[in-house]
Amino acid sequence: MELVEKYREIILQVFREYTEVPVAHGDLEDEIIVDREGGHYLWMVRGYQKHKRIHACIARIDIIDGKLWVQHDNTEGIAPDLERYGVPKEHIVLGFRPPDVRQYTGYAVE
């Protein structure tokens, strides 16, 4: 299996694991949005919590030049889950961190 295809499957598996856990509060629904051609993977939540409309990005991961760029992460840390499925740290970029800070994260700089 091609590396990029493997990474696509890993991203979806990690997102699915998270979305299988029922939401504790509110009438919320998870959505996984995939743009395979562009290499964009988005996990959204939408619905209502009490009378407040919720429409938010939980996580976004892009595949850029064979690396997984975590562009947004509202979990307790999605990168270790990617590692658990075999993605090496040097193939994970914490894109939501400023470039001058990435060298201290233990993950790829770019």
The pTM for the full model equals 0.92
Q: What is the pLDDT of residues 6-34, one digit of tens each?
A: 999 999 999 999 999 877 666 889 999 99
Q: Mean pLDDT, to the nearest integer, of 36-52?
A: 93
Q: Can you tell me the distance from the alpha carbon of 43 to that of 31, in angstroms, rounded to the nearest whole number?
A: 6
pLDDT at residue number 18: 93
Query: Is the pLDDT confidence value at 105 over 90?
Result: yes
Sign of the C-alpha dihedral, residues 33, 92, 110, 5? Answer: negative
Is residue 1 scored above 80 in pLDDT? no
Rounded CA-CA distance 50/48 in Å is 6
